[in-house]
């Protein structure tokens, strides 16, 4: 595998962690709930996914239980913010910290263990095409599922009744409730879905992308995923583009160093964040465009009464 | 966020810390570590060292370990509690514990402290560091024999003198066998990011390197990439051979046992003296072992000879002439680089391709 192949193929697999987590966050935010506990949910998913896969040798089981664990953590958040109407930002941060602590506890006896790396799937014929084959047709199954999921989520949100219900809940829960939408149920469901994907993103990180468990291994990727949702102005396609861009920048930094680029590595390490700031600044200059896509009631608590 | 998670863990651990009342005849030893003991690098090596003390003294010592504590206020609080709980000998396992540890030592002149990686001393406070570059030099020689591409790769944490001098030692060792060899370095600017470390290792392999040096990474991230990618690989502190059964070149191990045992003995005898402890192969602290079977007997003999010379002092890794990356002679022939210059090293030797971040 040469450097270019590694760069392009690695970009997609690196992007998968970001995209999977960001898609879940997108759905939760579309329903009007800002869940900042993504980093913690991913850490729990990573720990649980690793422990289950290590003990059972079954990746699918690892993903399933990790997803379930993500749902459990997200339901703690949902219970506090949706039922007890606590502040979403504060609760999200608190639950995120809880998740990080929990992940350390769960992974305690598996610290620094590894599992065998999984092979990507080889699509016959196509995978033999030079360059393109290695980049697009030898990836792990989860990579394909994640990008397919992006398309499905985009379609569900924009074209189905369910999508309409989610979006109207996020725009104006009072109006949605008046129209007969089960606002609480939808928000609970969307937050749980976010937890499911965050748990799976964690499992992908600890069992496929870097097949080992070490406390703290998510290393801020959950926060990048949160930023990606804003970066993509709540549009699935842009979020996917952003995830690929992030994957590209984070790998490109390392490759530039390996090739002896005469640029300080600290600057290169901060590139993903610099790019985020530039793009956010660029997007935010057009406030109308920003407001058009941001769910109007994002982060606001809703007590179910219709008196404002 | 990591800090916060550590806070939680710390809170849980502190409450679990056994507060045994000190008996007159039992020495209570407090050990504070920055990462889990179960890591396969730094904390693990320190813990092994303290185990040797326990082994020697048996019931005469009692070891109280608190692991996985982020440097900062939390660590300060815990080390204060350790002293309050009656620990008379403290091992502080991370650079960032230095200032708080030193203050604590000055307030408690009857207790002895040893502190990893620091540079400040007091009458009862000894910082200790390993001369990793000595072992890395020998690894460089071995790497020179097994490499086919003549390109070696290093995944390194932060560009601090300790790591820079290790990379330079590695490069000098390799080029002492084959001057055509060059070394690529990727700085990940993190002590801890296994995913980034693995990506870096893969990038180095894609760039043509066929020997990898995992420099100050406490997870087997780089080592497993070496095994999968068919590249020889070695690391520091603790052996990771089980993660790369066929491609493990060896380990530059730190065996802290001799130093820890000597320090505890000194404390018990009442003559502990705080001083800078910079320990290498002469002190049996830096140990190179778990050599790959693919290294020829001829090379093993050469390595053993160099090792003997370093131990006897007949030879030093940083004996001149030494040339820097720009091709300028930094150390003239016949001159030996001073310890201070190694402890503050901020330049790469010729043969390292990557520029040093400044």
* ipTM for the assembly: 0.82
Cβ of B203 within 8 Å of Cβ of A2? The answer is: no
User: Which pLDDT score, from 0 to 100, does residue A130 have?
Assistant: 80
pLDDT in tens, chain B (358 residues): 444 455 555 544 444 444 444 445 799 999 999 888 877 788 999 999 999 999 999 999 999 999 888 888 889 999 999 999 999 999 999 988 999 999 999 999 999 999 998 889 999 999 999 999 999 999 999 999 999 999 999 999 988 888 999 999 999 999 999 999 999 999 998 877 889 999 999 999 999 999 999 998 888 999 999 999 999 999 999 999 999 999 999 999 999 999 999 999 999 999 999 999 999 999 999 999 999 999 999 999 999 999 999 999 999 999 989 999 999 999 999 999 998 899 889 999 999 998 887 7
Separation of alpha carbons B288 and B252, rounded Å: 5
C-beta of residue B253 within 8 angstroms of C-beta of residue B237: yes
Q: E strands of chain A, at which residues? A: none
The structural domain count of chain A equals: 1
Cβ of B36 within 8 Å of Cβ of A209? The answer is: no
Residues of A with Cβ-Cβ distance to B228 under 8 angstroms:
117
Residue B71 in tokens: 């440097």
Location of structure tokens 């879905």: A193
Nearest to B224 among A104, A114, A215 (CB): A114
Residue partners of A46: CB distance under 8 A and separation at least 6:
A66, A103, A107, A202, A203, A205, A206, A213, A217, A218
**Does a structural domain hold residue A302?**
no
**Does a structural domain hold residue A123?**
no
Separation of alpha carbons B216 and B236, rounded Å: 6
Residue B204 in tokens: 């180095």
**Domain housing A241:** 3-117+133-293
Cβ of A101 within 8 Å of Cβ of B9? The answer is: yes
Cβ of A216 within 8 Å of Cβ of B228? The answer is: no
Location of structure tokens 């990746």: A59
Closest CA to B142 of B332, B306, B326, B343: B306
Cβ of B199 within 8 Å of Cβ of A250? The answer is: yes
**Does a structural domain hold residue A109?**
yes
Separation of alpha carbons B21 and B19, rounded Å: 6
C-beta of residue B122 within 8 angstroms of C-beta of residue B274: yes
- By C-alpha distance, the chain A residue nearest B40 is A112
Residue partners of A287: CB distance under 8 A and separation at least 6:
none
**Does a structural domain hold residue A144?**
yes
Separation of alpha carbons A182 and A202, rounded Å: 30
First to last CA, chain A: 62
- DSSP class per residue in A159-220: HSHHHHHHHHHHH-HHHHHHTT--HHHHHHHHHHHHHHHHHHHHHHIIIIIS-B--TTTTTT
Alpha helices in B147-249 (DSSP H): 161-177, 194-206, 221-229
**Does a structural domain hold residue A169?**
yes
The CA distances from residue A227 to A44, A117, A279, A288, B64, in Å, are 20, 29, 11, 19, 42
Domains along chain B with CATH numbers: 2-130 (3.40.50.2300), 132-253+290-343 (3.40.50.2300)
For residue B270, the distance in angstroms to the closest alpha carbon of chain A comes to 38
**Does a structural domain hold residue A19?**
yes
Helices (H) and strands (E) in chain A, counts: 14, 0
Separation of alpha carbons B8 and B1, rounded Å: 11
The CATH number given to whatever domain includes residue A171 is 1.10.3470
Cβ of A205 within 8 Å of Cβ of B39? The answer is: no
Separation of alpha carbons B197 and B220, rounded Å: 10
Residue partners of A186: CB distance under 8 A and separation at least 6:
A31, A165, A166, A169, A176
Which band of pLDDT confidence, cut at 50, 70 and 90, is reported for residue A288? low
**Does a structural domain hold residue A306?**
no
Least confident interval from A199-213, A281-295, B111-125, B214-228? A281-295
The answer, for B358 touching chain A at a CB cutoff of 8 Å, is: yes
Give, as one character, the DSSP assignment of residue B95. Answer: G
Separation of alpha carbons B61 and A155, rounded Å: 67
Q: CB pairs below 8 Å between A and B: how many?
A: 147
**Does a structural domain hold residue A70?**
yes
């Amino acid at each position: 595998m040469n450097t270019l192949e590694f760069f392009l193929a690695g970009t997609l697999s690196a992007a998968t962690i970001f995209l999977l987590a960001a898609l879940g966050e997108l759905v939760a935010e579309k329903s009007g709930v800002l869940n900042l506990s993504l980093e913690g949910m991913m850490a729990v998913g990573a720990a649980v996914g690793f422990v289950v896969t290590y003990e059972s040798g079954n990746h699918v089981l690892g993903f399933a239980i990790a997803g379930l664990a993500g749902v459990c953590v997200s339901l703690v958040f949902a219970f506090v913010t949706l039922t007890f109407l606590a502040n979403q930002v504060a609760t999200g941060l608190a639950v995120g910290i809880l998740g990080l602590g929990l992940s350390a506890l769960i992974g305690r006896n598996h610290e620094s263990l590894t599992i065998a790396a999984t092979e990507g799937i080889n699509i016959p014929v196509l995978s033999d095409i030079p360059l393109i084959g290695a980049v697009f047709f030898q990836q792990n199954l989860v990579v394909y599922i994640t990008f397919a999921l992006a398309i499905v989520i985009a379609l569900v949100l924009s074209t189905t009744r369910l999508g309409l219900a989610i979006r109207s809940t996020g725009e104006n829960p009072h109006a949605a409730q008046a129209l007969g939408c089960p606002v609480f149920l939808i928000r609970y469901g969307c937050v749980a879905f976010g937890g499911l994907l965050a748990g799976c993103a964690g499992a992908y990180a600890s069992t496929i992308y870097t097949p080992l468990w070490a406390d703290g291994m998510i290393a801020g990727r959950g926060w990048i995923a949160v930023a990606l949702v804003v970066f993509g102005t709540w549009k699935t396609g842009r979020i996917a583009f952003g995830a690929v861009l992030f994957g590209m920048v984070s790998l490109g930094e390392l490759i530039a160093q390996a090739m002896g680029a005469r640029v300080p590595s600290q600057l290169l390490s901060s590139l993903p964040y610099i790019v985020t700031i530039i793009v956010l600044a660029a997007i935010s200059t057009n406030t109308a465009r920003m407001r058009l896509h941001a769910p109007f009631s994002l982060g606001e608590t809703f007590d179910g009464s219709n008196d404002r | 966020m990591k800090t916060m998670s550590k806070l939680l863990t710390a809170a849980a651990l502190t409450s679990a810390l056994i507060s045994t009342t000190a008996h007159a005849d039992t020495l209570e030893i407090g050990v504070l570590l920055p990462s889990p003991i179960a890591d396969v690098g730094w904390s693990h090596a320190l813990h092994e060292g303290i185990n040797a003390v326990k082994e020697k003294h048996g019931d005469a010592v009692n070891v109280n370990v608190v692991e996985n504590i982020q440097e900062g206020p939390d660590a300060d609080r815990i080390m204060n509690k350790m002293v309050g709980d009656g620990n008379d000998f403290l091992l502080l396992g991370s650079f960032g514990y230095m200032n708080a540890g030193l203050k604590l030592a000055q307030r408690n002149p009857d207790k002895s402290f040893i502190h990893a990686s620091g540079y400040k001393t007091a009458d009862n406070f000894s910082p200790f560091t390993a001369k990793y570059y000595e072992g890395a030099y020998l690894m460089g020689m071995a790497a020179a024999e097994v490499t086919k591409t003549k390109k070696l790769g290093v995944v390194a944490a932060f560009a601090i003198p300790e790591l820079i001098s290790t990379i330079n030692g590695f490069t000098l060792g390799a080029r002492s066998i084959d001057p055509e060899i060059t070394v690529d370095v990727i700085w990940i600017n993190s002590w801890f990011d296994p995913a980034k470390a693995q990506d870096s290792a893969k990038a180095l392999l894609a760039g043509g390197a066929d020997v990898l040096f995992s420099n100050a990474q406490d997870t087997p991230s780089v080592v497993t990439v070496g095994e999968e990618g068919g590249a020889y690989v070695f690391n520091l502190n603790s052996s990771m051979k089980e993660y790369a059964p066929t491609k493990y070149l060896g380990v530059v191990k730190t065996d802290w046992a001799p130093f820890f045992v000597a320090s505890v003995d000194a404390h018990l005898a009442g003559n502990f003296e705080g001083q800078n402890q910079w320990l290498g192969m002469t002190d049996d602290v830096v140990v190179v072992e778990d050599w790959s079977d693919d290294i020829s007997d001829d090379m093993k003999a050469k390595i053993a000879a160099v090792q003997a010379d370093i131990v006897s002092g007949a030879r030093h890794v940083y004996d001149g002439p030494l040339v820097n990356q720009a091709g300028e002679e930094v150390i003239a022939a016949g001159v030996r680089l001073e310890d201070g210059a190694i402890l503050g090293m901020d330049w790469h030797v010729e043969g390292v391709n990557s520029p040093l971040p400044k």
